Amino acid sequence: MKRIWLLFAQTVTVAVALLFVVSTLKPQWLDRRASVPTVVPVIESGSTSGDTTASAIYSFRDAAKAASPAVVSINTSKAADTQSQNTDPWFRFFFGDQGQGQPQAGLGSGVIVSEAGYILTNNHVIEEADQIEVVLNDGRKSRAQVIGTDPETDLAILRIQLTGLPVVTLGNSDALAIGDQVLAIGNPFGVGQTVTSGIVSALGRTQLGINTFENFIQTDAAINPGNSGGALVDIRGHLMGINTAIYSRSGGSMGIGFAIPTSTARSVMEAIVKEGKVTRGWIGVEPQDLTPELAESFSVPAGTGVIITGVLQNGPAAQAGIRPGDVVTQVGDKPVSSVAQLLSAVAALTPGTPATIDIARKDGKQRVQITPGKRNLPRQQQPGGR
């Protein structure tokens, strides 16, 4: 019995020693899975798979394939300025000798939104251009007609006369959330159509000093000069916004880009196509964001409402009985908590059609009826204006 036990102990010792040597020098011999190919699922854009147990390699090929054909390059040209400022020494100091009779060229992007040839782009892309050429992703080219512009949102509608046009699907930008993945498609620096990816960094960005009406989607997808007017799409290739501007100290992308939401672009486009222009409401007030101290004195929750600091004499607001010191909390069915929201809510009103405005005063809350007037463009945005 003792001899058998000794033999068993020696066998175990040798086995353990062999196991140690193999695990040190050839560990793959012990891993049976190494001989079986590992399958890593590729989750395409738009997949509804909920399997998160395995590592996934995300591809946006479907989104790019769906949206890219509808994104176009826009080349603009402007005739030479006959009233050259080259004789001004300060102009020559800052801009150099521009020469006489040199035409100006511009570059941007756009998005085909209708089989009838309508294209969404930025107003600043085609502003003051004498000729506009649209280049499709398939190589076709066409002169474009300006159907209408809206400088206050920096949007413009063009039209080309071609058939068989690819069209982007308009998405619901109101459903976007911070962290959603998006793609920016355009023609940066004229190198050709380019797709970059990122996420939604913020929503509802205002007070940037870019447009009168601001409600920007912020993204870290790379946007560079030439991307203006291009598409910001979700992982299904649906249009979420029109790329408009970047924050940059160098002129290139720094990971902070801004796009006009599709919800805004859709309403502007429908108005321009139908009437040739965008008509907005106006009530004649000077608003200011409500401070916590003022909110407490008017017995309204902090961050609710906008205080009126001035009322235009004989304007729609004055005729409705609104006076300085009133706190506007709602316009129609839209609650307002900032000047930007009040501006947008009033602009959405139909001129000449009565609407209701909820206000708070120290003596209580009231609902007044107001007939908005028609908002006029600032003088520098009127045709021929500065």
Residue 6, in any domain of the structure: no
137 and 73 in one domain? yes
**Arithmetic mean of pLDDT, 284-300:** 82
205 and 126 in one domain? no
% of the chain residues with pLDDT over 90: 37
pTM of the model: 0.71
Phi, psi of 63 (to 5 degrees): -65, -45
Q: How confident is the model at residue 87 (pLDDT cuts 50, 70, 90)?
A: low
Residue 105, in any domain of the structure: yes
Instruction: Tell me the Cα Rg of the chain.
Output: 30
342 and 296 in one domain? yes
Q: Which of 68, 109, 142, 154 is catalytic?
A: 154
Distance CA 211, CA 222 (A): 21
286 and 212 in one domain? no
The two tokens of residue 188 are 């940066």
Distance CA 206, CA 258 (A): 10
pLDDT in tens, 21-80: 666 666 656 554 444 444 434 334 444 444 443 334 568 899 999 999 999 999 998 876
Q: Indicate the residue among 141, 159, 177 that finishes a domain.
A: 159
271 and 288 in one domain? no
Contact 285, 316 (CB under 8 A): no
Residue 21, in any domain of the structure: no
**Arithmetic mean of pLDDT, 249-256:** 70
What DSSP string describes 271-282? HHHHHSS---EE
295 and 246 in one domain? no
Q: Which of 124, 142, 173, 253 is catalytic?
A: 124
CATH (domain of 72): 2.40.10.10
Q: Average the pLDDT over each of 112-126, 145-159, 363-377 and give the range with the smallest value.
A: 363-377
Domain span at residue 300 reads: 281-374
Residue 41, in any domain of the structure: no
Q: Average the pLDDT over each of 96-100, 218-222, 338-342 and give the range with the smallest value.
A: 96-100
pLDDT surpasses 80 at 92: no
Question: Which is nearest to 337 in space by CA: 362, 297, 294, 307?
Answer: 307
Residue 164, in any domain of the structure: no
107 and 199 in one domain? no
Residue 321, in any domain of the structure: yes
Q: How confident is the model at residue 143 (pLDDT cuts 50, 70, 90)?
A: very high
Q: How confident is the model at residue 81 (pLDDT cuts 50, 70, 90)?
A: low
154 is catalytic: yes
**Arithmetic mean of pLDDT, 187-207:** 88
175 and 142 in one domain? no
The two tokens of residue 94 are 């800052």
pLDDT in tens, 213-249: 788 999 999 888 888 899 999 999 999 999 988 776 6
Residue 23, in any domain of the structure: no
Question: Which is nearest to 119 in space by CA: 87, 144, 151?
Answer: 144
Residue 247, in any domain of the structure: yes
Contact 70, 195 (CB under 8 A): no
286 and 229 in one domain? no
175 and 269 in one domain? yes
pLDDT surpasses 60 at 253: yes
Q: Which of 109, 228, 253, 344 is catalytic?
A: 228
270 and 176 in one domain? yes
Neighbours of 204 (CB within 10 A): 13
CATH (domain of 365): 2.30.42.10
Q: How confident is the model at residue 207 (pLDDT cuts 50, 70, 90)?
A: confident
246 and 200 in one domain? yes
* Per-residue confidence (pLDDT) for residue 344, from 0 to 100: 86
Pairing of strands 42-44, 57-59: parallel
* Per-residue confidence (pLDDT) for residue 249, from 0 to 100: 63
Q: How far apart are the first and last CA of the chain?
A: 110
* Per-residue confidence (pLDDT) for residue 255, from 0 to 100: 77
Number of domains in the chain: 3
**Arithmetic mean of pLDDT, 154-179:** 93
